[in-house]
């Protein structure tokens, strides 16, 4: 995993008003946690941070007052309507340190014929990895799987040095049978058959 270098500035003003002023300056308020130290409040260039966050669990080297600090994103708050970054929590990490993160799970391949559907029970997989070698994602094959099949956490091949941080038997992906939808024409046909059947039964009774 490559590092993304971003210059950050220590913050001395807090509160909603200060946060709004930071955002107007195209910066994002952020807090750095970790290693038992007091939280460190910084502001980070919005565009650079937004681009960095396109990579899951991106490793960021923050340049603060001439010193570098490695961090990974832990919580990201976005505006629910416009989507811009409102606030970010960052976790301070060290080289060689193990951290627990969640990595995206992607599926490849075609399911067995029959209109089956793929359900992601876990969209991301909790793992433990070295802070500077966090995989961006894991890919699993669903080629030929039929309804009822499932892929468990233990079935996923992880990169060297990465271990599961979830029960081995946890279901990650399962294949479910597609439900057959009844069309309006079929419903109308079924409704028309009922009176006809009733009339036939009534005629037979009269005879």
Residue 108 pLDDT grade (very low, low, confident, very high; cuts 50, 70, 90):
very high
Produce one character per residue of 108-119: b if its CB has 16 or more CB atoms within 10 Å, e if not. Answer: eeebeeeebeee
- Tokens (6 digits) for 91: 């976790």
- Residues of the chain above pLDDT 70, percent: 86
pLDDT at 145: 93
User: Would the pLDDT of 199 be above 60?
Assistant: no
Q: Picking from 14-18, 45-49, 131-135, 145-149, which range would have the lowest pLDDT averaged per residue?
A: 14-18
What are the residues facing 91 on neighbouring strands?
Answer: 33, 72
Ordered by where they begin, the domains of the chain are 3-93 (2.40.240.10), 95-207 (2.170.120.20)
Distance CA 154, CA 156 (A): 6
Mind listing the pLDDT tens digit for each residue in 148-197? 999 999 999 999 999 999 999 999 999 998 875 555 555 555 555 555 55
Cβ-in-10-Å burial (0-12, 13-18, 19+) of 166 comes to middle
């Amino acid at each position: 995993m490559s590092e993304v270098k971003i210059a950050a500035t220590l913050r001395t003003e807090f509160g909603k008003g200060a946060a709004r002023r930071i955002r107007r300056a195209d910066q994002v308020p952020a807090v750095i946690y970790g290693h038992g130290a007091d939280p460190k409040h910084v502001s980070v260039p919005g565009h650079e941070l937004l681009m960095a966050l396109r990579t899951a669990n991106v490793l960021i080297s923050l340049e603060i007052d001439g010193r570098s600090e490695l961090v990974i994103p832990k919580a990201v708050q976005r505006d629910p309507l416009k989507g811009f970054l409102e606030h970010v929590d960052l976790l301070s990490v060290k080289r060689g340190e193990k951290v627990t993160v969640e990595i995206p799970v992607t599926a490849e391949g075609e399911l067995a014929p029959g209109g089956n559907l793929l359900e992601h029970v876990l969209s991301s997989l909790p793992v433990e990895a070295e802070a500077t070698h966090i995989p961006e994602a894991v890919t699993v094959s669903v080629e030929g799987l039929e309804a009822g099949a499932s892929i468990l956490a233990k079935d996923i091949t992880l990169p060297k040095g990465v271990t599961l941080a979830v029960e081995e038997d946890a279901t990650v992906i399962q294949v479910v049978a597609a439900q057959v939808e009844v069309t309006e024409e079929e419903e109308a046909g079924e409704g028309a058959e009922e009176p006809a059947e009733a009339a036939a039964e009534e005629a037979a009774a009269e005879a």
